[in-house]
Amino acid sequence: MPQVYPCVVVLTELYSHVLVEYGAFVGVNIGTDVTNLPSPVEVVAVLKANQISHVRLFDADRGMLNALANTSIEVMVGVTNEEVLGIGQSPSKAAAWVTKNVAAYVPQTNITAIAVGSEVLTTIPNAAPVLVPAMNYIHRALVASNLNFQVKVSSPQSMDVIPKSFPPSTASFNSTWNSTMYQLLQFLESTGSFYMLNAYPYYDYVEGNGLFPIDYALFKTLPKNQQIVDSNTLFQYASMFDAMVDAAFYSMEALNVSGIPVIVTETGWPWLGGGNEPDATVDNAETYNNNLIKRVLNGSGPPSQPQIPISAYIYELFNEDKNPGPISEQHWGVIFTNGSSVYPLSLSTSDGTTVNSSGNGVFCVAKPGADPTALKAGLDWACGQGQANCSAIQDGQPCFEPNDIYNHSSYAFNDYFHRAQSTGGTCNFDGTATTTTANPSHGSCLFAGSSGTGGMIMPSPTAFGPTSPSSKGLVQRTSWTVFLFPAILLAFGQL
Ligand SMILES: *[C@@H]1O[C@H](CO)[C@@H](O)[C@H](O)[C@H]1NC(C)=O
Ligand SMILES: *[C@@H]1O[C@H](CO)[C@@H](O)[C@H](O)[C@H]1NC(C)=O
Ligand SMILES: *[C@@H]1O[C@H](CO)[C@@H](O)[C@H](O)[C@H]1NC(C)=O
Ligand SMILES: *[C@@H]1O[C@H](CO)[C@@H](O)[C@H](O)[C@H]1NC(C)=O
Ligand SMILES: *[C@@H]1O[C@H](CO)[C@@H](O)[C@H](O)[C@H]1NC(C)=O
Ligand SMILES: *[C@@H]1O[C@H](CO)[C@@H](O)[C@H](O)[C@H]1NC(C)=O
Ligand SMILES: *[C@@H]1O[C@H](CO)[C@@H](O)[C@H](O)[C@H]1NC(C)=O
Ligand SMILES: *[C@@H]1O[C@H](CO)[C@@H](O)[C@H](O)[C@H]1NC(C)=O
Ligand SMILES: *[C@@H]1O[C@H](CO)[C@@H](O)[C@H](O)[C@H]1NC(C)=O
Ligand SMILES: *[C@@H]1O[C@H](CO)[C@@H](O)[C@H](O)[C@H]1NC(C)=O
């Protein structure tokens, strides 16, 4: 048995909860079991194009960490389960890991968290005795590099460590892990870190076999006769997501630990499944992830901890088509590797900060097959109210030929997108536009975002920031949320 390094209680670290609690964000997991995974530079271009502000890597890939430098995207890196065993038995291995994978990149790459292993207790239970030592050794190495204030250490747990999660008030950790859990929570408390939870309403809904209505899993409003209430607390649960997060809080409380924020390190919904996976649909995935974003950005906690916001990382950026298992396992992605969205989803400016990006390498173009009338409406809007520079598509100018509605609207959409992105403009145009990494420039016709063309940032033409002319677009709703968020906080502050 390795000796457990005693927790270093650094008083000031406790106050970092204040930082963690300030504002919730939505991030994205980047799994890499992907055929033709784009290069790190392309992946980062996709992140910027979608204004993703937080990412989680499952490892500490050098290419990705370099490509993320100087982007202001916050990064969670991972100690893989394979590495946990060694690190948990060797402080010097932990120190070497931190030097190589964290200290070498900060501050240019904004690494703010280390996930030590992934669902270690439930996937490699024999490593349980070394999990907290591994976290301690990593933390000690961060202290030595004076990085412990900016980089937090935790370890994502599956919901399976909580055998019965409903009603939340009676939830507790599987007692097999009592001592590990207790040490883990002590560590999180003393280092000002957070509990990392992987919460998948999709699985609980499917495994519940009709016990819960699907609307509850999808954050939809439930009819009066179907409200989900915890009979002990009389708290009403608007979503399964809230109930899962509360189950984690109550499980910690059962071990007499309170006040540790929960951060959801994985959640999402698959958009395609096999014949026996009827709930894995584009509609459900789109509904779940968009409602999740709205839920998280509203900034409140679950019923038992309304003051602790819940940040969450969507699982996941790309479809991991090389994942084994049922068809749904390969279809959790929200963006195809060519940069276009699987379904409309706005991840922009989750915590109210804008990712500054000229978006070089990503282009906004007319969707193949889009209705020409709708394209024309988008083109007119982009060149007019949208303030795109459409001079290059005028007769005699470099992008006039081919004189086709697809080519002209692509030029205008892309010009608008590159100007307005940083102020909330999106690539949507009522669903007729899509992003791509394929550069549409030809000859002397240069599209904005090609290397060499500047990503000119124009001031926003409307008070709430430009949105594509999409009436039903979630994009608009999210922009509203983003811009209203400070107002909501302000209103609370005045109560
Ligand atoms: C980040 O920016 C700094 C300062 O401009 C520069 O020295 C450094 O090379 C950049 N790092 C990367 C990896 O691009
Ligand atoms: C890194 O992220 C933290 C937390 O959001 C932020 O306070 C800090 O300014 C960021 N650092 C850089 C160099 O962008
Ligand atoms: C607790 O975990 C152990 C070890 O994985 C397992 O055998 C047991 O069934 C679990 N208990 C419950 C109530 O799920
Ligand atoms: C684990 O902790 C719970 C709650 O404190 C307690 O009821 C249970 O007896 C403990 N189980 C073991 C195996 O120590
Ligand atoms: C939690 O605290 C209560 C009251 O102080 C005590 O009775 C109980 O044994 C404690 N449980 C654990 C697991 O420490
Ligand atoms: C935020 O969401 C929670 C859970 O759905 C809800 O109870 C609460 O009223 C919402 N708060 C605001 C300010 O919209
Ligand atoms: C991107 O790839 C997806 C899936 O292969 C495809 O359906 C879509 O049409 C492609 N988008 C573009 C702009 O090529
Ligand atoms: C965004 O980048 C542009 C070009 O690099 C720069 O001029 C501008 O000041 C940046 N804006 C912010 C808010 O960082
Ligand atoms: C518009 O684009 C053209 C090149 O296509 C350029 O010459 C002109 O200066 C641009 N106008 C503005 C206002 O940026
Ligand atoms: C014009 O648009 C079509 C359809 O989007 C595209 O396939 C073609 O490559 C474009 N041509 C040029 C020269 O950009």
Please write the tens of the pLDDT for every residue from 231-248. Answer: 999 999 999 999 999 999
Q: Are 197 and 159 in contact (CB under 8 A)?
A: yes
Give which of 448, 440, 336, 478 is closest to 386, Cα–Cα: 448
Distance of CA 352 to the CA centre of its chain: 14
Q: Are 339 and 46 in contact (CB under 8 A)?
A: yes
pLDDT value of residue 359: 53
The 10s digit of each residue's pLDDT in 340-392 is: 899 988 776 443 333 333 456 678 899 988 999 999 999 998 998 888 999 99
Give which of 327, 430, 419 is closest to 370, Cα–Cα: 430
The rounded percent of the chain whose pLDDT value lies above 90 is 69
Give which of 1, 265, 252 is closest to 126, Cα–Cα: 1
Q: Are 336 and 319 in contact (CB under 8 A)?
A: yes
Instruction: Tell which atom from ligand 3 comes closest to the C-alpha of 163.
Output: 14
Catalytic (active site) residue 119: yes
**The two structure tokens encoding residue 398:** 């470099």
Question: Does the CB atom of residue 453 touch ligand 9 within 6 A?
Answer: no
Query: Measured between alpha carbons, how far is 244 from 166 in angstroms, rounded to an integer?
Result: 8
Distance 4 CA to ligand 4 centre (A): 21
Distance 414 CA to ligand 9 centre (A): 14
Alpha-helical regions (H) of 298-401: 372-383
Question: Which DSSP string do the residues of 418-487 spell out, in sequence order?
Answer: HHHGGGT--S-TTTTEEEESS---BTTB--TTSTTS--PPPPPSSTT----S-SS-HHHHHHHHHHHHHH
Each of the 495 residues of the chain gets a pLDDT tens digit; together they read: 443 333 333 333 443 343 334 479 999 999 999 999 999 999 999 998 888 999 999 999 999 999 999 998 999 999 999 999 999 999 999 999 999 999 999 999 999 999 999 999 999 999 999 999 999 999 999 999 999 999 999 999 999 999 999 999 999 999 999 999 999 999 999 999 999 999 999 999 999 888 899 999 999 999 888 889 999 999 999 999 999 999 999 999 999 999 999 999 999 999 999 999 999 999 999 999 999 999 999 899 999 999 999 999 999 999 999 999 999 999 999 999 998 899 988 776 443 333 333 456 678 899 988 999 999 999 998 998 888 999 999 999 999 999 999 999 999 999 988 887 766 677 888 888 888 878 899 989 999 887 655 433 333 222 222 334 332 222 222 222 222 222 222 222 222
Residue 78 has phi, psi (to 5 degrees) of -125, 135
Query: Measured between alpha carbons, how far is 486 from 96 in angstroms, rounded to an integer?
Result: 42
Distance 256 CA to ligand 5 centre (A): 6
Instruction: Tell which atom from ligand 3 comes closest to the C-alpha of 122.
Output: 5
Catalytic (active site) residue 401: no
Coil, helix or strand at residue 168: helix
Distance 70 CA to ligand 1 centre (A): 6
* Most ligand 4 atoms within 8 A of CB, residue of 161, 173, 174, 178 to mutate: 178
Instruction: Give Cβ neighbours of residue 301 (< 8 Å, ≥ 6 apart).
Output: 245, 307, 308, 309, 310
Q: How many residues does the chain have?
A: 495
Q: Which ligand is nearest to the CA of 389?
A: 9
Q: 13, 74, 83, 119: which one is catalytic?
A: 119
Q: Which ligand is nearest to the CA of 310?
A: 6
- Say which amino acid occupies 474: L
Instruction: Tell which atom from ligand 5 comes closest to the C-alpha of 256.
Output: 1
Q: 74, 189, 266, 320: which one is catalytic?
A: 266
Distance 108 CA to ligand 1 centre (A): 7
The CA-based angle 413-73-264, given to 5 degrees, is 105
Give the residue whose CA is nearest to atom 5 of ligand 9. 392
- For CATH 3.20.20.80, list the domain ranges present in the chain: 11-330
The 10s digit of each residue's pLDDT in 115-140 is: 999 999 999 999 999 999 999 999 99
Query: Measured between alpha carbons, how far is 410 from 70 in angstroms, rounded to an integer?
Result: 29
Distance 302 CA to ligand 6 centre (A): 9
Give which of 382, 481, 489 is closest to 426, Cα–Cα: 382
What would you measure as the largest C-alpha separation in the chain, in angstroms? 77
Q: Which ligand is nearest to the CA of 65?
A: 1
Give which of 484, 363, 455 is closest to 412, Cα–Cα: 363
CATH number of 11-330: 3.20.20.80
**Within a 10 A sphere around the Cβ of 93, how many other Cβ atoms?**
18
The pTM of the full predicted model, rounded to 2 decimals, is 0.72
Question: Does the CB atom of residue 174 touch ligand 3 within 6 A?
Answer: yes
Give the residue whose CA is nearest to atom 11 of ligand 4. 175
**Beta strands per DSSP E along 11-66:** 26-30, 54-57
